[in-house]
Structure formats: structure tokens, C-alpha cells
Amino acid sequence: MATTADIKNGMCLDIDGQYYFITEFLHVKPGKGPAFVRTKMKNVITGRTFDKTFNSGVRIEEVRIERREYQYLYQDDMGYNFMNNETYEQVSVNKEIINGVDFLKEGMMCEVVIHAQSETILYVDLPVQVALLITYTEPGLKGDTATNATKPATVETGATVRVPLFINEGETIRVDTRNGSYVERVKA
């Protein structure tokens, strides 16, 4: 058991059976009254954030988590299959707990966050940016670089990304997996 004095960013807490990450915290010592800790927390499963205040010295239940590198292998009717490259252990993961699942391609290295005591997978994070090949988009026209207009493009994973008008089919682009936005064209 930890106390509020041990709170730091990135710490995972168990509150009423739900897991939360602390994204921000502030120790407050008002001139009148007891000290307290104001936190901003993010739910591990839903991703929703909220503010919570703890009185100073209160015991909190810290959850020990581990971040491990896994390689994505394939998808089947059981879910998405990942392999630990150190132990060669394979695990199947549901689509709901994979962040940026639309940009997942075979062979990609991902970070799997695991509850250390129960060995259950909390969620899977893809790399922040991935390079993907464009399989279909309308052809670009010469001189389309001046405006900020975009068009839809289908990438190799089947996801649709809004890209600038000058991007053509067969080119490789870099995509931000957190929000699905175009970042840049990858030079060959």
C-alpha cells in the first residue's frame, strides 16, 4: 500500500476495482486546513479522464504494471495474436483494448501493458507513427500543393486516412496512430 506522498505521473491505481493512470498531480498546502493532493486520472479501459482529490496521508492501492514488447502476428476468429520475442509465448487480444487497431500490420512491434500480479493484458499501444503504403486514392494533379485540401486514401491495412491532394497511389506515408492523421510522405 502506498500513500498520497508516493503519487507520481504514470502511477497506476486500483479504485473500486477499476484501474486508473495518474496523468497529472499537485500537492496543495493551503494556509488554512489540511494538505491534499489534486490529481487528474485516466481510466485504463475507457480512456476517460477525471479529477480526483485525495486528503494528504491517505492510503492508496497501487497496481504494479509492466510494459513488454510484443510482435503482432495475425488475426483470427479468437482475436489479434501477439508474440513475446523473448519467451516466444503467444497471446490473443480483443480488438477493444488495442489503441489504433486500424493501423496494425503483421510483424509490427507493439507495447503490451500487463497487470503484473494477475498477468492480464490491460491494453496494447502501437508505435506513435507507422509507415503505410497507399493502396487506393484518386490521382493527384500537378499544382495541388498550394492549398490545404485533403482527399481520402486507403492504406494497406484497410483504414482510410485524409491525405493532401498531391499524394498518389503506391506512395508510402507516415500516419499518427493516436488519431489517424497524415504526418508526412516517406521518401524512398
For the chain, residues classed under CATH 2.40.50.140 are 65-125, 130-185
Helix H or strand E encompassing 91:
strand 90-93
pLDDT of residue 146: 62
Q: Where are the beta strands (DSSP E) in 29-64?
A: 36-43, 49-55, 59-60
Q: Where are the beta strands (DSSP E) in the chain?
A: 2-3, 12-15, 18-28, 36-43, 49-55, 59-60, 65-76, 79-84, 90-93, 98-99, 109-115, 121-125, 129-137, 150-155, 160-164, 172-176, 181-185
For domain 130-185, the CATH architecture is: Beta Barrel (2.40)
* CA pseudo-torsion sign 67, 73, 76, 78: negative
For the chain, residues classed under CATH 2.30.30.30 are 2-60
65-125: CATH topology: OB fold (Dihydrolipoamide Acetyltransferase, E2P) (2.40.50)
2-60: CATH topology: SH3 type barrels. (2.30.30)
pLDDT of residue 141: 67
Mean pLDDT per segment of 10 residues, for the chain of length 188 residues?
86 88 91 91 85 90 90 91 91 89 92 88 90 88 68 92 88 91 87
- Of 43, 93, 96, residue with least CA distance to 73: 93
Contacts of 16 (CB under 8 A, 6+ apart): none
Angle, vertex CA 148, rays to CA 146 and CA 170, nearest 5:
85
